[in-house]
Amino acid sequence: MYRINILLVIAFLFGVYTKISAENYPHRSDVLWVTTPDHSNWLYKTNEKAKISVAVYHYGILQDTLTVNYSIAPDMMEADKSGSVKIKNGVASINMGTLKYPGFMDLNLKITLNGKEYKHHIKIGFDPEKLIAYTKMPSDFDSFWEDAKEEAAACTMKVERTFVPEYSSDKIDCYLVKIQAYEKGRYVYGYLTIPKKEGKFPVVFSPPGAGIKPMNPLKDIFYAESGFIRFDMEIHGIRPDLERKDYNEISSAFGNKHNSYLVNGLDNRDNYYMKKVYLSCVRVLDYLTTLPEWDGKNLIAQGGSQGGALALITAGLDSRITACAANHPALSDMARYKIGKAGGYPHLFTKFDGMDTPEKLKTLQYFDVVNFARKIRVPVFMTWGYNDNVCPPTTSYIVYNTLNTKKESLVTPVNEHWISLTTRHYILDWIRTQLK
């Protein structure tokens, strides 16, 4: 059963991994949109018609003569219907129609007020619990990854650990860790935070969201303050304490558009950049399980967006993981655009050129989250929002529906590509319930 919890929180947007053109309830906006589906949970049956009521507040004052322009599209696809309605007596009503197949529809709204344009959108679902993955499992998936792990394990693990006083306190110690992984001379970094008290503690492994950017372990320092060892991982072999301007230069070199690391080597499964990343996650587990402070039982993978994908992938790749928590995972059913329907971040078939080749499609099968989700046998918690245009609800549902293990979801329809601080603590509370 899906547990629906609509968090109507107007708050700072936590967990944003990719720039988004517009957000619901933008911070300090003069305009507030209130869009209400005629089904309170935002969900419909296929072939069932949906209606949305629209109200607009300016400086908190309900507007009453505005024209609202709208367009309607299947999730992440081009609009196939458009029109306009007038707000009368404080409300307008828009008939969205229906879907004949499981999925989501996106209603995009636009007004002009005092010469300035304001936008908003809302997505609603049609039988999303029936969504299934497009991506197929290669027959040699298991042998490919077992061979890859064996090859990577031959690389000697070298570790450098440096105390970081600015992120430490009377409650926790923080270290910057450098680990040799995958092959000689290739390193990854991470911030390790450990409770400053006697005892043995569960370990939370947290891979990063997409991009090439600085890291700040203070964002999730409440894990260590709550009695967990936490490792916030960097995947590119770049020190996470560099200045942002340095990261911007590095990112422009191999982190954007058609030179993105996410397409680097995609023609061949052995040369694809993400192979090194996935195997480096395993190497980090090698290190974390040697820590004398580890309780020897609990090893949890947790992350959001690309980090959510890597958490699920690591759980499917390594049996040492005992539980997994992921919010709006990226890299999920990426090739689904091939059938004209929403696929997962990084949206290779709509944002990049030259991706639709047999070689690239074959490689993706070995790296897509859905195939690792099929392998997971430990408890999984997932949370996602409907209004997300980075990691769309279509692919989050597909991953969740694919899982064949004990699972729990927190669905927050209003959310775009963010989760609230309350939800971040909810995730930690769920992790506590999984400890052995």
CATH fold group of domain 31-130: Immunoglobulin-like (2.60.40)
C-alpha to C-alpha distance for 122 and 70, rounded to whole angstroms: 11
Q: How far apart are the first and last CA of the chain?
A: 24
Catalytic residue at 328?
no
Catalytic residue at 388?
yes
Give the pLDDT of residue 27.
65
Sign for the pseudo-dihedral over CA of 381, 387, 390, 393 = positive
C-alpha to C-alpha distance for 25 and 205, rounded to whole angstroms: 32
> DSSP assignment, residue 196?
S
Structure tokens at 327: 């919010």
Residue 292: other Cβ atoms inside 10 A: 6
Does residue 411 sit in helix, strand or coil? strand
Q: How far is CA 412 from CA 19, 259, 358, 383, in A?
A: 20, 34, 37, 7
**Residues in Cβ contact with 367 at an 8 Å cutoff, skipping those fewer than 6 apart:** 269, 272, 274, 275, 278, 331
Task: From the candidates 305, 332, 396, 409, give the one annotated as an active-site residue.
Answer: 305
State the DSSP H helix or E strand holding residue 286, giving kind and residue range, or none if neither.
helix 273-288
Task: From the candidates 120, 121, 347, 417, give the one annotated as an active-site residue.
Answer: 417
CATH fold group of domain 141-433: Rossmann fold (3.40.50)
Closest listed residue to residue 270, CA positions, set 417, 140, 425: 140
* Partner residues linked to 51 by β-bridges: 95
Tens-binned pLDDT, residue by residue, of the chain (436 aa)? 333 333 333 233 333 333 333 445 566 789 999 999 999 999 999 999 999 999 999 999 999 989 999 999 999 999 999 999 999 999 999 999 999 999 999 999 999 999 999 999 999 999 999 999 999 999 999 999 999 999 999 999 999 999 999 999 999 999 999 999 989 999 999 999 999 999 999 999 999 999 998 899 999 999 999 999 999 999 999 999 888 888 888 888 777 777 899 999 999 999 999 999 999 999 999 999 999 999 999 999 999 999 999 999 999 999 999 999 999 999 999 999 999 999 999 999 999 999 999 999 999 999 999 999 999 999 999 999 999 999 999 999 999 999 999 999 999 999 999 999 999 999 999 999 999 9
Closest listed residue to residue 382, CA positions, set 368, 371, 395: 395
Task: From the candidates 75, 236, 388, 409, give the one annotated as an active-site residue.
Answer: 388
Query: How far, rounded to the nearest angstrom, does the alpha carbon of residue 355 sit from its chain's CA centroid?
Result: 22
Structure tokens at 388: 């997300």
* Length of the chain as a residue count: 436
Domain ranges of the chain: 31-130, 141-433
* Partner residues linked to 304 by β-bridges: 327
| Residue where the block lists tokens 């700072």 | 12
Structure tokens at 109: 């709204």
Give the pLDDT of residue 35.
97
34 and 10 in contact (C-beta within 8 Å)? no
Residue 336: other Cβ atoms inside 10 A: 24
C-alpha to C-alpha distance for 37 and 98, rounded to whole angstroms: 13
Catalytic residue at 29?
no
Angle at 118 between CA 123 and CA 16, to 5 degrees: 55
